[in-house]
Amino acid sequence: MPSDERPSFPHRRGLIIVMTLATAYVASHFFRASNVTIGLDLMRDLAIGPEALGGLTGAFFFGFAAMQIPCGFFFDRFGPRRTVTGMLVLATIGGIVFTLAPTWPILLTGRTLMGAGFGVMLIGSMVVISRWFPPDRFSTLTAMVLSIGLVGNLVATTPLAWASEAVGWRSVFAAAVLFTALAAIAVWIVVRDAPPGHPFLARTPEPPREMLQGLIEVLRNPRLKFILALNFCHYACTFTVQGLWGGPYLREVHGLSAIEAGNVLFAAVIAYQAGMLFFGPLDRVLDTRKRIAIGGTLVMISILALLAVPTRLPAWVAIAAMIAVGFFSACSTMVMTHGRGIIPDRLIGRGMATINTSVMFGVACMQTLSGIVVGAFEPLADGARSGTAYRALFGVLAVVLTVALAVYSRSEDVKPSDQMRAVKQEG
Q: Where are the domains of the chain?
A: 12-193+207-426
> In sequence order, what are the residues at sequence separation of 6 or more whose Cβ sits closer than 8 angstroms to the Cβ of residue 55?
108, 368, 371
pLDDT digits (tens, 9 = 90+) for 143-182: 788 778 888 888 888 888 888 888 887 888 999 999 999 9
**Which H or E run includes 13?**
helix 8-33
pLDDT top residue among 146 and 246: 246
CB 377 within 8 A of CB 328: no
Rounded CA-CA distance 89/115 in Å is: 12
Judged on CB neighbours under 10 Å (0-12, 13-18, 19+), 120 is buried
pLDDT top residue among 97 and 144: 97
For residues 293-310, give the mean pLDDT.
93
Q: CA angle, 153 as apex, 152 and 159 as ends, to 5°?
A: 85
What are the angstrom distances between the C-alpha of 178 and each of 171, 411, 422?
Answer: 11, 43, 44
Q: What is the pLDDT of residue 349?
A: 67
For residues 202-208, give the mean pLDDT.
65
Weakest mean pLDDT among 170-179, 180-189, 359-368 = 359-368
CATH superfamily of 12-193+207-426: MFS general substrate transporter like domains (1.20.1250.20)
**Which H or E run includes 53?**
helix 50-66
CA dihedral 147, 153, 155, 158 (to 10 degrees): -120
pLDDT digits (tens, 9 = 90+) for 24-78: 999 998 988 787 777 777 777 777 777 777 777 778 888 888 887 787 778 777 8
The model's confidence at residue 213, banded by pLDDT at 50, 70 and 90, is: confident
Rounded CA-CA distance 3/7 in Å is: 8
What are the angstrom distances between the C-alpha of 226 and each of 222, 408, 410, 411?
Answer: 8, 5, 7, 5
Q: What is the DSSP letter of 244?
A: I
For residues 92-120, give the mean pLDDT.
89
Residue 33, sorted as left (phi over 0), alpha (psi -120 to 50) or beta, turns out to be: alpha
193, HSE (Cβ side, Cα atoms, 13 Å): 20
Rounded CA-CA distance 271/421 in Å is: 34
The model's confidence at residue 1, banded by pLDDT at 50, 70 and 90, is: very low
407, HSE (Cβ side, Cα atoms, 13 Å): 18
The model's confidence at residue 89, banded by pLDDT at 50, 70 and 90, is: very high
CB 350 within 8 A of CB 73: yes
Q: What percent of the chain lies above the pLDDT cut of 90?
A: 23
Residue 197 has pLDDT above 60, yes or no: yes
77, HSE (Cβ side, Cα atoms, 13 Å): 15
Q: Is the pTM of this model over 0.75?
A: no
pLDDT top residue among 316 and 62: 316
CB 416 within 8 A of CB 286: no
